[in-house]
Amino acid sequence: MKKKIKYTDEPMGKVRVVKDFLPSPKELAFKQETVKITISLSKTSVDFFKKEAKQHHTQYQKMIRRLLDEYVTSQ
């Protein structure tokens, strides 16, 4: 980070406003109660979540848990 940033007045092109989708700090601090279970999943599913988790620098179990939570919320 020793390089200086050079700002210019070049046109930015077409700009669009993105709706705020980030959770509030209160939502991030909230820790849900969890229950440990044992479940058998297909190798294909686990491989998919492991690959995606690696790309997004997270744990695949958290992704599966989040997916299930979203499903339950929508029902």
Domain ranges of the chain: 39-74
Give the pair of three-digit tokens for residue 9.
């007045």
57: region left, alpha or beta (phi > 0 left; psi from -120 to 50 alpha): left
- Give the residue with greater pLDDT, 6 vs 59: 59
Confidence category of residue 53, pLDDT binned at 50, 70, 90: very high
pTM of the model: 0.57
**pLDDT tens track for 1-50:** 678 888 888 888 888 888 887 777 776 666 778 899 999 999 999 999 99
